[in-house]
Chain A
């Protein structure tokens, strides 16, 4: 069965609709002992910033029912380090490598995009719009259609011919409005969703479970939220949508596609078992055959409501 997905007029070709989600698959190299990473539809890398970033205080992760909280604080060695030391190690000729961009102001987004878009081996750029905007007293970029559009526009201008993916958070009043704004600002693809803010506490130590007190909730627990976001957005935008949030199985992939997603990204489930993404890719054609789906393009968005 043909699982290929062609996006942005063929400028982003995926072997299949299953990518790794930002921050859950390292750079991709971490998972080489567990499977052939060139079999992925694409690798969305861990979050990168313009300058190296030490990240958030410990503890940074906590398990919650059917999910987890994390507050890593975008620990990374910076975009230059990624381009010089990590990218050459990745099999980018055989699998699209998509860096995830994080910044606290529009100028840094632009500079970051310049560093990454100019690098051989970068297939597309994903803009994390859940970043806090220093100039708007820490409000998330995507909390406001105007700031979301400015960030996307800044990356788009610096990205040259590389497709730009705008990643939205569900932590906003009207996700549809923001989706339309980033599309108008030039986003080639929308991915949704990022994590949902939450917290967990320990009654024995009387401390929060995370050093940063609050963190992002992800995993199976958020799948219904993510499906809802994808369904709302896919109906109103022309650009393709990548569904992210609680994907654990081939069935989940089909659920997101039924709701209108062109592809999905597997996140927290990569932590649960390093074989997860490889298993999903193995099982997807089998499940399609069982369900009598022979054309994923036709299946996509075919939800009867």
Chain B
């Protein structure tokens, strides 16, 4: 386990990605936020950070959890969508502003150079796969299927397409979304037949579908769960998921564990998303 550190960092860039798009919950805006590189000893793709502006507005209580998109020699890059007041505040950060960051937090994606690896991303869930492709020693063994309801230029796909094979699928209707899910299942079946594995990141309803396929097909699959988090330290017990009978520590099988410290990346067979996400929340 990599021990997290809390540091104050300077914003070096914060650029909108694509055009603002109108959606059911308002106007969607996407940003790539670049910070100076923190003095971390190491980090792994799939891990995340908690971030808040030093000069935060008084009404804001929580920092925000963000997947680590990419770490270069100079910088830490994050990619996020504005969905509420907290992320809106982050979208207004500009070069020179100070932020408080604690991380790297949580578990990371498995990396097996000799195993065909299917990356399944949906929406902003694409973020951690940029760093994953960067660090993977054999990117030729990677293939990404990327589903999105909004135009693809809202997402940092170009840099990733340069590093690995990928397919974009946009859906505008419930039928098209269903088609995307059927392609997801076909791909997973293909990887099962070729002794591969699968990694998935995106919204919870999407992850639940992937989880169901993973169990049905018995394909080794990791999911990066998305839950509301207050602290990122394991203290608030707000982001728990429920383990399955296969959880490595039998004493904790069938019990809640924190997504921020035992996750966010879990093996599909280790968790029970039916217990966490009943049908009515999956819609």
Complex interface residues of chain B between 56 and 90 (CB less than 8 A to chain A): 58-63, 86
From B60, B61, B281, residue with most partner A Cβ within 10 Å: B61
Known: A33-B3, A34-B6. A274 touches B233 (CB 8 A): yes
- For the complex, count residues of B whose C-beta is within 8 A of A: 35
Complex interface residues of chain B between 219 and 250 (CB less than 8 A to chain A): 227-231, 233-240
Is the Cβ of A271 less than 8 Å from the Cβ of B236?
yes
- A65 on interface, CB distance cutoff 8 Å: yes
In the complex, how many angstroms separate the beta carbon of A285 from the nearest chain B beta carbon?
22
Docked CA distance A235–B245 (Å): 54
Known: A68-B62, A75-B240, A268-B61. A30 touches B235 (CB 8 A): yes
Docked CA distance A287–B255 (Å): 45
Q: Which residues of B contact A63 (CB under 8 A)?
A: 60-62, 86, 230
Q: Which residues of B contact A33 (CB under 8 A)?
A: 3-6
User: Closest B-chain residue to A52, C-beta based?
Assistant: B255
In the complex, how many angstroms separate the beta carbon of A95 from the nearest chain B beta carbon?
16
If over half of B's interface residues share one DSSP class (helix, strand or loop), that class is named, otherwise mixed; here it is: loop
Is the Cβ of B238 less than 8 Å from the Cβ of A219?
no
- B150 on interface, CB distance cutoff 8 Å: no
Chain A, 72-91, contact with B by CB distance < 8 Å: what is the 0/1 string?
10010100000000000000
Q: Which residues of A contact B237 (CB under 8 A)?
A: 23, 46, 55, 60, 72, 75
Docked CA distance A239–B100 (Å): 40
- A270 on interface, CB distance cutoff 8 Å: yes
- A25 on interface, CB distance cutoff 8 Å: yes
Is the Cβ of A75 less than 8 Å from the Cβ of B100?
no
Q: Which residues of A contact B235 (CB under 8 A)?
A: 24-26, 30-31, 46, 270-271
In the complex, how many angstroms separate the beta carbon of A94 from the nearest chain B beta carbon?
20
Known: A55-B237, A75-B256. A66 touches B61 (CB 8 A): yes
Q: Which residues of B contact A272 (CB under 8 A)?
A: 52, 61-63
Chain A, 133-165, contact with B by CB distance < 8 Å: what is the 0/1 string?
000000000000000000000000000000000
**Chain A interface size, under 10 / 10 to 19 / 20 to 34 / 35 or more:** 35 or more
- A298 on interface, CB distance cutoff 8 Å: no
Q: Which residues of B contact A30 (CB under 8 A)?
A: 233-235, 261
- A301 on interface, CB distance cutoff 8 Å: no
Complex interface residues of chain A between 247 and 280 (CB less than 8 A to chain B): 268, 270-275
Complex interface residues of chain B between 1 and 54 (CB less than 8 A to chain A): 3-6, 24-25, 52
Is the Cβ of A61 less than 8 Å from the Cβ of B240?
no
Docked CA distance A55–B100 (Å): 31
Docked CA distance A275–B5 (Å): 10
Is the Cβ of B230 less than 8 Å from the Cβ of A61?
yes
Q: Which residues of A contact B238 (CB under 8 A)?
A: 59-61, 70, 72
- B276 on interface, CB distance cutoff 8 Å: yes
Is the Cβ of A60 less than 8 Å from the Cβ of B61?
no
- A119 on interface, CB distance cutoff 8 Å: no
- B102 on interface, CB distance cutoff 8 Å: yes
In the complex, how many angstroms separate the beta carbon of A90 from the nearest chain B beta carbon?
14
Q: Which residues of B contact A214 (CB under 8 A)?
A: none
Is the Cβ of B61 less than 8 Å from the Cβ of A31?
no
Docked CA distance A220–B256 (Å): 29
Known: A24-B236, A31-B233. A204 touches B100 (CB 8 A): no
- A54 on interface, CB distance cutoff 8 Å: yes
Chain A, 40-60, contact with B by CB distance < 8 Å: what is the 0/1 string?
000000100000101100111
Known: A24-B236, A30-B233, A72-B237. A54 touches B58 (CB 8 A): no
Q: Which residues of A contact B3 (CB under 8 A)?
A: 33
Complex interface residues of chain A between 211 and 261 (CB less than 8 A to chain B): 219-220
Docked CA distance A65–B234 (Å): 23
User: Closest A-chain residue to B56, C-beta based?
Assistant: A272
Extra A-B contacts (12), CB below 8 Å, given A68-B230, A220-B61, A273-B100: A31-B233, A33-B3, A52-B255, A55-B240, A59-B238, A65-B59, A66-B61, A72-B236, A204-B24, A271-B230, A272-B61, A274-B102
Closest 8 CB pairs of A and B: A61-B238, A26-B235, A271-B231, A271-B230, A30-B234, A65-B59, A72-B237, A30-B235
Q: List 28 A-B contacts (CB under 8 A).
A: A23-B237, A26-B233, A26-B235, A30-B233, A31-B235, A33-B5, A34-B6, A34-B233, A52-B255, A54-B255, A54-B256, A59-B228, A59-B238, A60-B237, A63-B61, A63-B230, A64-B61, A70-B236, A77-B255, A204-B24, A204-B25, A219-B61, A271-B61, A271-B62, A271-B230, A273-B6, A273-B52, A273-B63
